[in-house]
Structure 1
């Protein structure tokens, strides 16, 4: 248990001179954002995800098979928007060249713009989100989360992909000593799952209590704060800012 707590502490309060510097808590914040945003997309936009593309591929299969309650158009639009966002994120990341701080800064600024635009749409349109409003929200949020995923992939902080938990949770079990592994690193992996769980709970609670715009407004606040931190970090030349070579 002591090892788990030390690992968890290192995620929340990392060593500034470590290989990933201050990135882990920022990535945890983005994981929380994923839970918030996907709560909105699934509960209010009709069984569609804007961050979890595995879910959209499965939902597309359901829709093709004729299962009721699933929209093929919504799933495909979400996939296309996410891919476009990932493309934009890739362009921004390559512009930052080899500085991880600038990679994060550029990506967060772009994501903040997309999510802020989506929040603005919810504020002026009112619920329910149907027709063009629904698809506008899917596109804007898909673009933002696509940028986020491109950044998290390039930053390559272990166990902090910000959206995909399957491999992270698998590692908790398969890398454990009972399984013959060297250690589950549960203290590093469980906080990621907890962050997404808490984000999803907060987003769902707001939606179910009649505050559908609150999750996106909170997301914008978190992203703006993270963007401010990333802008400061972009000026650093500490060892963690160098891109990983392995």
Structure 2
């Protein structure tokens, strides 16, 4: 069961949409510059592994495995943080996202200084760092958020948007959040793809900034029971 949101819903939705934008940025980096691997979308990696059984596919085998392993470790960390800090939800969510922002910042710094480079086997280290950050994000959001704000995989969001629309079952609530998730993910991926023509470290740094902003919202935004002054 998702946790009760630690901040007012409108602030939480805004923060999670920012996280969705960051996901688009990071997956643009991993897919376009790190050898056709996803660090946030594990479904894609499982499919790629299946495709890689065909020699004609030319798809990587090791990178998706590294991404999934690092993702799992990040998700385990996210679950442990929830267990330890569940009675202090602001600290839990804000701390988890701050940790993710720190991991992304570290990756951006290592890329900008040339310690990490998107070439050779060192690519696997970049994949592992980014996937661990995304695992932490996914675990935190999974334990926190409404189902239509996953911040990563949008298959269920698109399914609900279509099936519950007036053209489908006609039972859906207002679709604003679901449409917003789709558009923000698209914007993040498009922004990442365009900026990668100029800077790799900059795209990761932009993702880190976005996640840090979301962490600040969860740490400082009004609580669900607080009302705005008259």
Work out whether the TM-score is over 0.5: yes
Determine whether 1:232 maps to 2:220: yes
Aligned to 2:26: 37
CA separation of 1:105 and 1:67: change in aligned 2, threshold 3 A? farther
Q: Larger relative contact order (C-alpha < 8 A, sep ≥ 6)? A: 2
Pairwise mapping of residues 72-83 of structure 1 onto structure 2 (< 5 A)? 72-83=61-72
Give the secondary-structure state (helix, strand or coil) at the position aligned to 2:135.
Answer: helix
CA separation of 1:147 and 1:127: change in aligned 2, threshold 3 A? closer
How far is the alpha carbon of 1:101 from its aligned partner?
2.3
User: How big is each residue's C-alpha offset from its partner over 1:109-163, in whole Å with a ceiling of 9 and x where there is no partner?
Assistant: 1101211121122112289612242111101100100000001101122410000
Determine whether 1:182 maps to 2:171: yes
CA separation of 1:137 and 1:95: change in aligned 2, threshold 3 A? same
Structure 1 Cα separation of the partners of residues 145 and 132 of structure 2? 20
How far is the alpha carbon of 1:176 from its aligned partner?
1.4
How far is the alpha carbon of 1:211 from its aligned partner?
1.8
Structure 1 Cα separation of the partners of residues 108 and 43 of structure 2? 25
Aligned to 2:73: 84
Structure 2 Cα separation of the partners of residues 177 and 220 of structure 1? 38
User: How big is each residue's C-alpha offset from its partner over 1:26-50, in whole Å with a ceiling of 9 and x where there is no partner?
Assistant: 0000000000000000000000000
Unaligned runs of 5+ in 1: 1-15, 241-246
Alignment root-mean-square deviation, CA: 2.2
Structure 1 Cα separation of the partners of residues 34 and 173 of structure 2? 37
Structure 1 Cα separation of the partners of residues 132 and 33 of structure 2? 18
How far is the alpha carbon of 1:238 from its aligned partner?
4.0
Give the secondary-structure state (helix, strand or coil) at the position aligned to 1:79.
Answer: helix
How far is the alpha carbon of 1:25 from its aligned partner?
0.3
Count of residue pairs the alignment pairs up: 221
TM-score by length of 1: 0.83
Aligned to 2:3: none
CA separation of 1:72 and 1:97: change in aligned 2, threshold 3 A? same
Aligned to 1:6: none
Aligned 8 A contact 1:118 1:137 in 2? yes
